[in-house]
Structure 1
Amino acid sequence: MPYPFTPAGVTLKTADLYLLDDGDLLTEAKDLANDLYAWTALNFTLSTKQHTYFSLLPPTVLFAWGAILAAAIIHRSVIVMQDVPTNYGPPRRTKQVAIEFCGTSNYFPPIAGPGPIGGSFTTSIKYDLVD
């Protein structure tokens, strides 16, 4: 079920993701890192403006943002999204998106078998309108 692409929708989606077992969560994180736009369009209801914005992003931006968000998800970290501005586009040039990512990732090998990844991140998605 797609969620609204809003702060509340992101909170609900991450809560659902964090109920998954580690293997299923890893699959979601890989899908997100591989194609941020497709994963977002599948999991959230996007407006026409949001579809257009995603479709015009360079592949390097899509990959970088997807990788950052995938790392946050695999660590089951907090993701905070600011309200999406509704008044971007003409006559305003665009909106600037910033993803702030702060925290640590660690791994302590156990005596036997694989161990879990550790650490914690806070990830914030912020917007500024640019004229």
Structure 2
Amino acid sequence: MSLQPLTAAGVTAKTTELYALSNSLLAAQADAVQSDFATWIKGNFTLSTPQSDFLTGMNATALKYYGAQCSVAFRSRLTISLSTPTPVGSHKFVGSVNTLEVSTDSAGTLQTTGSLTFKIEYLV
């Protein structure tokens, strides 16, 4: 798979590329992103030095959570987006907002709907 820039357009291009994979190959990507979110991001996106440094310094619990969210979204080919405003301020924050709904039907089959958005915000 090709490297994409870590931008809104790059995330859209990457999900388009992922969702064109077979179910088994997509499941392997879902496993990989859940196992190690930071490594998966570095292997699928071109990062600037500040982006790479920020990712390397992110909290481990947040990284595990983001990886789990992406894994759920990948498996059901749900929309994933990135919101990146123009930097204003020196304090950068990354968060996720989702409408993911995960359930099982009467046969125990996984049912997922919704979307996932990663938001980068800056505070003065």
Q: Is TM > 0.5 for Structure 1 vs Structure 2? A: yes
| Map of 2:99 onto structure 1 | 102
Structure 1 residue 44, shift from structure 2 partner: 0.4
Q: 1:24 to 1:84 in 2, by over 3 A?
A: farther
1:63-74 matched pairs, under 5 angstroms: 63-74=64-75
Measured in 1, the distance between the counterparts of 2:26 and 2:96 equals: 21
Residues 60-115 of structure 1 deviation map (CA, whole Å, 9 limit, x = unaligned): 11111111111111110011211264566xxx1x21111011132244466xxx96
Structure 1 residue 118, shift from structure 2 partner: 3.0
* Contiguous gaps of at least 5 residues in structure 1: none
AA aligned opposite 2:101 = T
After TM superposition, where is structure 1 displaced by more than 3 Å over at least 4 residues in a row?
Answer: 84-88, 106-110
1:19-58 matched pairs, under 5 angstroms: 19-58=20-59
Measured in 1, the distance between the counterparts of 2:85 and 2:6 equals: 8
RMSD of aligned alpha carbons: 2.0
Measured in 2, the distance between the counterparts of 1:58 and 1:103 equals: 22
Residues 11-58 of structure 1 deviation map (CA, whole Å, 9 limit, x = unaligned): 111011111111111110110011111111110000000111011112
CA contact (8 A) 2:84 2:121 kept: no
CA contact (8 A) 2:87 2:122 kept: no
Say yes or no: does 1:130 pair with 2:116.
no
CA contact (8 A) 2:5 2:47 kept: yes
Identity of aligned residues (%): 26
